[in-house]
Structure 1
C-alpha cells in the first residue's frame, strides 16, 4: 500500500468535491456522489475536475488504497458537515477484528455475507480487502444518501459488492447467509405496529431498533452460520434486556462476547462490544468472553489471537 498515492488521491478528491459543491450548491456528500459519477462517466465539462480525474486514474490505486483515500476524505467532510452518530463508519481496527473472527470461526472458502445497515460501505470493503475468503456480500441500508454513497464509491473502487435499499426490520426476500453482520444503530424504532410482530417488542414504549434488527437478522442465518453484531455494552442489562433474554433462550445462543476498548467510541455511554450468536444447538458450547484492552498493542492482539484460536479448536469446530 502506497501512502503517498493515497494522500495524492485524497487531495484530488477533496478539490473536486469542493468544486462540485460550489457549482451545484449542494452538500458535500451529494457532491462526492456527483464526483464519483464524473470519474466513471467523464461527463463533466469543468476543466479542473477533468484534469484531476485523469490524475486519479493515473495513480492506478488498489481497492484498499481507494478505500483509505475515501476514508480520509469522509473524515474531512464530516468535520464541516457531521453525519449523525449512527451513520459514522466502523473504525478500521474493529473491521480488522471482525475479519479475523470470521476467518477463524469459518472453514469454508466461500461465504455469503449479509450486512444489516451497511452505511457508507466502509466495513464491507475493509472485510473484502483484508480476507483470504471469497465473500459474496450484500448490504441493506435504509438511508438514501448512504446507499448512493456506498454504491458510487464501490463502483469507482471496482468492489464486488451489492447494496439494496430497504428497512431491514420489515420482511425481506433474502436467501439464508453464512454470516449476518451489523454495526447496530442504537435507538428506538418508531413504528410500533411493525415492532409488535416480534417477541422483543415492548408494550410500554417504542422498541429498541437494535433488538428488532437482531431478531430479524437471525431469520436470515443458515443453521451453522454466525451473526456478528457490534452492540451496546449494556445489551444484556438495559431497560428492555428482559425481552431480549427471552428471545435469546428460544432463537439464538451467545457464543462469543469481546469487550472493546471504550476509547474507540469517544464516550463511555457509546461504547460497544462484539457479540457473536448462532442458532440454538442441542450440544453444550462454552461462551468465549474476552476483555480486549487494546486494538493497537501488538502483544495484546497476539495474546487475544492465541486464546481465541484455542477456544475455536476446542469448542467451535
Structure 2
C-alpha cells in the first residue's frame, strides 16, 4: 500500500510539473518546485492559463482527499526530483540514495541516544532529501537547519519540507561563509566533492590549500566542526579517497587536533558506477573537555544491501559496538 501511495504522489507531482514545463517553457525542476508550492498554497505566479490551472487543480486534489505519510511524500518527491536530474550536467544536482539516507538515520538514532531533543544541521542540504529522510526516522523533538547556495535546490528543499510538514530553517547562502547559527548537537551531510572557487574566502580556513583552489569537502568539514557543540557528532558521506588525496595529510592533522574519529563505514562498491565514485560514512565527534576517543573506532565494510543476512550480521556488530563504546550525545 505504501508503494502505491508513493506512486500516486509521484504521478501527481510529475503531471503538474510537466504541464508547467511544457506550457510555460521552464525547466522541469523549477516546475516541480512551483507544483509543490501550488499544492500547499493553491497559488502560482508562473501561469495564468486556464488549461494549466485546471491540470494543477486536478492533480493537487489528491492531497486533499488522502493524508499521506511523511515518508510516502518524501519518496514521491524524490522520484520526481530524480527524473528532473536525469542528464543534469551540474555535479551538485545529485541526490543522496535512500540506502545511504536510511543508514545515516539509523546512526543518528544511535548517536542521539535517549535525548528527547537536539539540534541538527545539514550545511549542504541540496533538495533536503537526506535531512528529511533522517528526520522521518527520528522520533524526537528536533530543531533542524539546512543551507545551500543553489536557488533551485533550496526552493525544492523548502517545498519538500512544507509538504512533509517539517519545520526546518533554511539558509540560502554559500555554506562556507559565516552563519547566524548557534552550534548544533549533530551535523549530517553528503559532502560536495571538488574545488571551492573562492580563494579569498578559503583563506579564512585552516584547511586552505597551500597553492591553487582548496577542496570544498575539506572546508565543509572544518565549517561543520565550527558550528558543532563540544562533544557533538558529525556524520559525513565522503569519497573513499578522502584520506588519500594530495591534501589528505593536512586534513588528518586537523582532525586529530579538533575531533575524535569515531568510525568509518564503507559502502559496497557495487552501489557505484566506478571505484572513484565509491563513498563511505565518516563519523566524527568534536573534541571537548569531557570527551574521549573510543578505544576502538567503528570500522565497517558494509555488505550489499540486497543481502539481508549479511546486513543483519553487520548491524548486530554495529549495535554491539555502540553498546560497548559509545553512550551517545550528552545534553
Question: If the length of structure 1 is used for normalisation, what is the TM-score?
Answer: 0.94
How far 1:29 sits from its partner (Å)? Answer: 0.9
How far 1:83 sits from its partner (Å)? Answer: 5.6
What is the CA–CA distance in structure 1 between the aligned matches of 2:153 and 2:98, rounded to whole Å?
18
SS in 1 for 2:29: helix
SS in 1 for 2:144: strand
1:200-249 residue CA offsets vs partner (Å, 9 max, x unmatched): 11112211000001011101111121011111101111111011112112
1:256-295 residue CA offsets vs partner (Å, 9 max, x unmatched): 1101112223221011110011123664422111111223
List aligned pairs for 1:237-276, cutoff 5 A.
237-276=244-283
List aligned pairs for 1:271-282, cutoff 5 A.
271-280=278-287
SS in 2 for 1:293: coil
Instruction: Judge conservation of contact 2:122–2:147 (CA < 8 Å) in 1.
Output: yes
**Counterpart among 139, 146, 152 of residue 159 in structure 2:** 152
Change (3 A) 1:142 1:43: closer
Two-structure CA RMSD over aligned residues (Å):
1.7
How far 1:50 sits from its partner (Å)? Answer: 1.1
Query: Is the counterpart of residue 18 in structure 1 residue 28 in structure 2?
Result: no
Instruction: Judge conservation of contact 1:117–1:139 (CA < 8 Å) in 2.
Output: yes
Instruction: Judge conservation of contact 1:228–1:274 (CA < 8 Å) in 2.
Output: yes
**Counterpart among 73, 83, 88 of residue 82 in structure 1:** 88
Q: Comparing 89-98 with 193-202, which one deviates more in the overlay? A: 193-202
**Counterpart among 302, 306, 315 of residue 296 in structure 1:** 306
Structure 1's consecutive aligned runs of 4 or more residues displaced over 4 angstroms after TM superposition are: none
List aligned pairs for 1:1-317, cutoff 5 A.
2-43=2-43, 45=50, 46-79=53-86, 81-82=87-88, 84-107=90-113, 108-280=115-287, 283-285=292-294, 286-317=296-327
Which residues of structure 1 form unaligned runs of 5+?
none
SS in 2 for 1:205: coil
SS in 2 for 1:85: coil
Change (3 A) 1:132 1:301: farther
SS in 2 for 1:26: coil
Question: If the length of structure 2 is used for normalisation, what is the TM-score?
Answer: 0.90
The aligned length equals 316
Q: Comparing 221-230 with 5-14, which one deviates more in the overlay? A: 5-14
SS in 2 for 1:117: coil
Change (3 A) 1:280 1:224: closer
Instruction: Judge conservation of contact 2:148–2:175 (CA < 8 Å) in 1.
Output: yes
How far 1:88 sits from its partner (Å)? Answer: 1.1
Task: Name 2:47's counterpart in structure 1.
Answer: none
1:102-142 residue CA offsets vs partner (Å, 9 max, x unmatched): 11122212121011100001111111112223322111111
